[in-house]
Structure 1
Amino acid sequence: MFLSRRTLISSALLMLLPFVQYANAADSLPNSNLASVATSPLHSVADNLTFANYQQVSIHHIELALNVDFELQQLSGNVILELDWHKAGKTLVLDTRDLTINSVSMLNAKGQWQAVPFRLGVVDKVKGAALTIQFPQERVAKVKINYHTSANPSGIQWLTPEQTQGKQWPFMFSQSQAIHARSWIPLQDTPAVRQTYSATVTTKQGMSVVMSADRTSLSDTQTQFTMPQAIPAYLIAIAAGHLQFAALDKTSGIWAEPEMLAKASKEFTDTPAMIAIAAKRYGDYRWGRYDLLILPPSFPFGGMENPRLSFITPTVIAGDKSLVSLIAHELAHSWSGNLVTNATWRDLWLNEGFTTYVENRIMEDLYGRDRALMEQTISYSELLAELAELPAGDSVLHIDLGERDPDDAFSGVPYVKGQLFLRFLEQKFGRERFDNFVKSYFDHFAFQSITTEQFRNYLTQHLLQRYPNIVSESEVDTWIEGQGLPPFLTPPNSPAFDDIDAQRQAWLDGKAKASALNTQGWTVHQWLRFINEMPRLNLTPAQLLELDNAFHFTGTSNNEIAFAWYSLALDNRYFSVLPALKQHLTEIGRRRLIVPLYQKLASSEHYDWAKTVYLAARSGYHPQTQASLDTMFSDTPIEHQH
């Protein structure tokens, strides 16, 4: 998932390199058995954030038959779970959140569906409710559950036509990470369990359904899907709306509302080149296709790496390809995260740290070392600011979540501190050695969910011991288990920012007017550096007005620059931006670009203004965004609209 705690920017360059497509699961796992990977849970892994008894019995295939009802704003139907028993037993425990379970049946020895008793447990505010199913016999192979979703599931957003780009058709989409899949499918919602899945989805005519799987249209109202590779539950994804498709090449393309399709296709033309670059460096792309779905502006994150179909925020469509490095991030997850997955949310850094590292290497290969170093420097600067606000325990890579909401783990720490750790190893061992290590790591653990301990064992055997006396276990401990950043870290520093810093200081010292600064040719990276390193709390309204008049920051269409500018303005109490800020907060729902601004407003004398804006915009925000902001504005009851 791309949260954009870091701002990673790129321009366009097309490079054509060999692209290897894996059309089926057998190809994607040479010299191994896909079924064994799909059905082998980590018996030693204890995930505190699931009710599932997956160490006794695990799901190896999910078969969905769902109806997408836009009038009721509900998913309903059946799910058949195919089970692998690791210990004898008669009980299956699944994860649910706000699901209505109508019936449960098992496939008996006669090949008939037989009703079995079930019960929903007490609701836990983080984990939802356990669904406990009791069988009359041991080692049942299949169980079928008839169910429907609630009016406002945490993992699904329903949009009215007015909340979409086209204003004519409704829209729905899922966001299953971290543990929100349980809000629309009863299953084992832990990344320790991987399963294949298939689905038949029905909706009204005129709508297209897409999922993180191979897609076959059966009729005007019915679509079939198959995911032959085993994936964790959080990567199961669905969306439906008035969508059209445009190919980028034979193996990648864009799904979007018609009003956004041309813009998105133009913005993301470099996607095939990114795939080729990554495949050349880190091993063959193993997922068949790589398509992008451009979601409505309410999507709460920058992107989500659902295999074969990354979900992408429209806020990165700037018109000049300046923000397309988000695509490199979601693509990088095809190796780090989707191929090799964190076994628990304590191990999130294995997904996001590797992905942020791989993303930056893709960007360097495509756009050059200078651009990649600027991105690293911006990331590091933003991490330092975030570490100053985080509890000390949350600055540990291998974070101890206990039974906290796993969404709490998604800070800049697993992303950027994880990247810095891998850069440290690269610098110590040299790129050639480290590249070989990363590629072999992806191959060795392909289609598996692993723990930090497993990574460390592999690191020790294949890098630390193979090339002794370069990096110590103590240094690795400091990176992975220590708080904050190690004292021996060499921070990234981009010389491209030296002139920007000098010009900013000249303006601050009164030696140059803003209009006289030489900003010609500045990239978005450089503008962000210029804004983000401005003083907080002591700029005057006159100074900010001077900047605004010179550079027209207020109302900019570049969402990253807008966020940086509005953050600076609010920190320095420059409230002239409020009219434009209202539009910014109303038109997009990306958490990273709105929640911090609401936080600043809520602590100012404009609390009431902010709450009024929020209440007007709330119905267009994702349930996960609503949950954060409802708490912020909880002084009076908020009417929940469904």
Structure 2
Amino acid sequence: MSWSLLSLPSSRFVVPRCLGSCSKVTSSFVKNSYFAGSYVKSSYVAAPLRRFAIMHKSPAALVERLPPKGLEIHAPRDPNTLANYNNFLTTHTTANLEIDFEKRRLLGNVVLLLKSITNGEADKVVLDTSFLDIKDVKVDGEKAKWALADRMEPYGSALSIQLGGGVEKDKQIAVDIALSTTDQCTALQWMTPAQTPNKKHPYMFSQCQAIHARSIFPCQDTPDVKSTVDFNIRSHLPVLASGLPTGTKDFRPGKDGAPSTLLYTFKQEIPIPSYLFAVASGDLASASIGPRSTVWTGPEELIGCKWELENDMEKFLEAAEKIVYEYAWTTYNVLVLPNSFPYGGMENPIYTFATPTIISGDKQNIDVIAHELAHSWSGNLVSNASWEHFWLNEGWTVYLERRIQAAVHGEEHRDFSAIIGWKALQDSVERFGEDHEFTKLIVDLKGKDPDDAFSSVPYEKGFNFLYYLEKLVGKGKWDKFIPHYFGKYKFKSLDSYDFKSTLLDFFASDSEASKKLNELDWDKWFYAPGYPPKPDFDDSLVKVCYELADKWQALAQGKSDAFKPAQSDIGPWTGNQCVVFLEKIQTWEQPLPVELVDLMGATYGFAASQNVELVSRYFIIGLKAKASSVYKPTSELLGRVGRMKFVRPLFRGLRDADRKLAEETFEKNKDFYHPICRQMVEKDLYGDK
């Protein structure tokens, strides 16, 4: 790879994104610069004390050069933002927004406090926007000139705001933007009363990850920037937002038949990235599920949600605190959303947004909550600096989730969950192809939409890397590193090179661990596509699942007359053991014969199961076998569930079995799906158009 320095302003030097071998440079500059994953915000870099590496032709060839005196380095490291956050950083966001359910808009104004991190270098602020209607812009109370650039897919339109001159370092400016969202907003899902469970009131919720906050308000839409937030949200229905509630006030009677509204206020005093900006409004009720936890959902669903969740919330919290450190966000609450929510959960601070598919009536699926809770440390307090390093969010979160499971349920459950995760990793690698960019731990997302790279790879490959490191240095030593890491980067963002340098520094005084870590092939872990080395997981909980699958395979091949399937085969199993059994059958090269698909569904109750984790996997087996008995039920399920984990593979399976029905099902339900889900399913069915 070769690169050159182009069009450099005289007052700064832009350091390129560091590749694998750059992480081997050990000069003090690297430990305190972009390569280490943070801005050099302190005093000017003084030669010859600090050095930087310049890459020529290949990552292996490094040349050290001395920077000029007086040079400041502010290198952006997120390729998926148009904002000039190398000149200004958002320190506080105030969102004054009204929810207009009739027009399906948020309208109002947002005030960004921006701190200059260069000395008069930039005379404009550039922010991310996407499909926004910008009404007016003020800077420090005065009208400002602004321009909206042509849209650049997939990143939106850059909003440039003229400042009339440079801003001295550390000075703050207030940028006040009047705006309205539009019907092309990708972060908001609007639901009519008919689309909600009780069919009485409309509903709205946001989903900003990865780069969709810019479609709600102009911002520095990058996880490398964090700010505190004040939410002032007006609605005629109850509101939740990703901050602590501070009151409900300012009753405003409706006019001309419109409903009366209230102003709901929330304050987030811990700095958060834009993708954690969240708001929801609808017919909501709440119930306590622990000493510091509440569940929110529709009134009719409240009792079931409370029953499903109340026994485990505090256990999960206490287990996580023992692994990392004290929970920082005061309360941990769960909003169980309507069926169209596209993810298992979204780790919005204070209020996890959760899929209703976790409410299965058997308490078998609430490990999703352990995952989202773990995000309270990994992702929310300590964030990946860009989506190229997404594994730092999700790999760590899966690791902590499984440590929580081990603490609550027993150590064997951690490896059992990891085995299920390995199957999910296999599915993603097979779908992309083993040599695909998106199967790497660190991915190249320049010019790409981070949503296109979304898969189990950062989750499971990331977990396996951390699991490998735990085994490499020893669990006792590793457990001391965990709170150190999350303490060092608390309230900050980092990249993979920060992680590496922090790990090496922590174990530098331990000769045995240090030797192992320095001999590790870091470049292979970071940049090699495909599978990581498969650990030797404890398979004690999966053996019975595999043994039963083997019996079905022998039956399918006509090699067994003795096996007579009965419900007692799976009687004592957990839901996850049934998942492992079904996923084992999915791996067979030859599909299960149609008559055995039907026999399995009836005998084990999979065909009529209310647990979507089970019935969806059973339908995948049936679709692969071209069992017509599952076609209509699959189509019906796709009209009730919007979680992409289920929707996308089911649509792909239905597409291959009955394309006409798949397309009809999508056209019938596309308005039910979240915009993110709808876009991804369109690609699955029709390709990139």
Describe the SS at the equivalent of 2:399.
helix
Contact 2:192–2:203 at 8 Å: present in 1 too?
yes
Alpha-carbon distance between aligned partners in 1 of 2:147 and 2:40, rounded to the nearest angstrom? 26
Contact 1:591–1:625 at 8 Å: present in 2 too?
yes
Contact 1:464–1:471 at 8 Å: present in 2 too?
no
Alignment of 1:145-544 (within 5 A): 145-204=177-236, 207-219=237-249, 221-269=262-310, 270-391=312-433, 392=435, 393-463=437-507, 466=510, 467-487=513-533, 489-509=534-554, 510=560, 511-515=562-566, 518-534=569-585, 535-544=588-597
Alpha-carbon distance between aligned partners in 2 of 1:144 and 1:353, rounded to the nearest angstrom? 37
State yes or no: 1:79 paired with 2:110: yes
Alpha-carbon distance between aligned partners in 2 of 1:353 and 1:493, rounded to the nearest angstrom? 20
Describe the SS at the equivalent of 1:587.
coil
Alpha-carbon distance between aligned partners in 1 of 2:409 and 2:553, rounded to the nearest angstrom? 32
- Which consecutive residues of structure 2, in runs of 5 or more, have no partner in the other structure? 1-37, 43-72, 252-261, 555-559
State yes or no: 1:630 paired with 2:682: yes
Alpha-carbon distance between aligned partners in 1 of 2:361 and 2:660, rounded to the nearest angstrom? 35
Contact 1:348–1:409 at 8 Å: present in 2 too?
no
| Matched residue, 2:129 | 96
Alpha-carbon distance between aligned partners in 1 of 2:662 and 2:509, rounded to the nearest angstrom? 56
Q: Letter of the 1:620 partner, please give it.
A: F
| Matched residue, 1:106 | 139
Deviation (angstroms), 1:565: 0.4
Alpha-carbon distance between aligned partners in 2 of 1:525 and 1:636, rounded to the nearest angstrom? 35
| Matched residue, 1:46 | 77
Describe the SS at the equivalent of 2:280.
strand
Candidates 98, 115, 140, aligned match of 2:143: 115
Q: 1:389 to 1:636 in 2, by over 3 A?
A: closer
Describe the SS at the equivalent of 2:515.
coil
Contact 1:464–1:470 at 8 Å: present in 2 too?
no
Describe the SS at the equivalent of 2:521.
helix
Alignment of 1:583-602 (within 5 A): 583-602=636-655
Q: 1:502 to 1:173 in 2, by over 3 A?
A: same
Contact 2:395–2:459 at 8 Å: present in 1 too?
yes
- Which consecutive residues of structure 1, in runs of 5 or more, have no partner in the other structure? 1-36, 108-112, 638-642
Alpha-carbon distance between aligned partners in 2 of 1:353 and 1:553, rounded to the nearest angstrom? 31
Alpha-carbon distance between aligned partners in 2 of 1:627 and 1:157, rounded to the nearest angstrom? 13
Alpha-carbon distance between aligned partners in 1 of 2:465 and 2:589, rounded to the nearest angstrom? 30
| Matched residue, 1:30 | none
Alpha-carbon distance between aligned partners in 2 of 1:454 and 1:635, rounded to the nearest angstrom? 37
Stretch deviating more after TM superposition (548-557 or 152-161): 548-557
Q: Deviations over 1:246-269 (max 9, x none)?
A: 122342111111111111111111
Candidates 607, 614, 617, aligned match of 2:666: 614
Deviation (angstroms), 1:409: 3.0
| Matched residue, 1:8 | none
Stretch deviating more after TM superposition (620-629 or 389-398): 389-398
Q: Deviations over 1:539-559 (max 9, x none)?
A: 211111221221121131000
Alpha-carbon distance between aligned partners in 2 of 1:482 and 1:538, rounded to the nearest angstrom? 32
Alpha-carbon distance between aligned partners in 2 of 1:419 and 1:383, rounded to the nearest angstrom? 11
| Matched residue, 1:12 | none
Candidates 158, 162, 167, aligned match of 1:134: 162
Describe the SS at the equivalent of 1:76.
strand
Stretch deviating more after TM superposition (130-139 or 142-151): 130-139
Deviation (angstroms), 1:138: 3.4
Deviation (angstroms), 1:581: 1.3
Q: 1:538 to 1:603 in 2, by over 3 A?
A: closer
Structure 1 stretches of 4+ with a deviation exceeding 3 A read: 37-42, 471-474, 631-637
Contact 1:532–1:564 at 8 Å: present in 2 too?
yes
Describe the SS at the equivalent of 2:660.
helix
Deviation (angstroms), 1:136: 2.2
The higher radius of gyration belongs to 2
Alpha-carbon distance between aligned partners in 1 of 2:685 and 2:597, rounded to the nearest angstrom? 29
Q: Deviations over 1:200-226 (max 9, x none)?
A: 11112xx10110001123235111111
Describe the SS at the equivalent of 2:595.
helix
Contact 1:191–1:449 at 8 Å: present in 2 too?
yes
Q: Letter of the 1:499 partner, please give it.
A: V
| Matched residue, 1:6 | none
| Matched residue, 2:86 | 55
Q: 1:40 to 1:186 in 2, by over 3 A?
A: farther
Candidates 153, 156, 178, aligned match of 1:125: 153
Alpha-carbon distance between aligned partners in 1 of 2:498 and 2:683, rounded to the nearest angstrom? 38
Deviation (angstroms), 1:401: 1.6
Alpha-carbon distance between aligned partners in 2 of 1:572 and 1:494, rounded to the nearest angstrom? 28
Alpha-carbon distance between aligned partners in 2 of 1:212 and 1:149, rounded to the nearest angstrom? 19
Deviation (angstroms), 1:429: 1.5
Alignment of 1:65-76 (within 5 A): 65-76=96-107
Deviation (angstroms), 1:595: 1.1
Q: 1:48 to 1:545 in 2, by over 3 A?
A: same
Sequence identity percentage: 32
Contact 1:363–1:371 at 8 Å: present in 2 too?
yes
Deviation (angstroms), 1:516: 7.3
Alpha-carbon distance between aligned partners in 2 of 1:55 and 1:636, rounded to the nearest angstrom? 33
| Matched residue, 2:58 | none
Q: 1:520 to 1:369 in 2, by over 3 A?
A: same
Alpha-carbon distance between aligned partners in 2 of 1:52 and 1:167, rounded to the nearest angstrom? 41
**TM-score normalised by structure 2 residue count:** 0.83
Describe the SS at the equivalent of 1:63.
strand
Q: 1:370 to 1:486 in 2, by over 3 A?
A: closer
Q: How many residues align?
A: 592
Alpha-carbon distance between aligned partners in 1 of 2:412 and 2:222, rounded to the nearest angstrom? 39
| Matched residue, 1:31 | none
Alpha-carbon distance between aligned partners in 2 of 1:443 and 1:72, rounded to the nearest angstrom? 45
Deviation (angstroms), 1:244: 1.2
For the aligned residue pairs, the C-alpha RMSD in angstroms reads: 2.0
Contact 1:39–1:195 at 8 Å: present in 2 too?
no
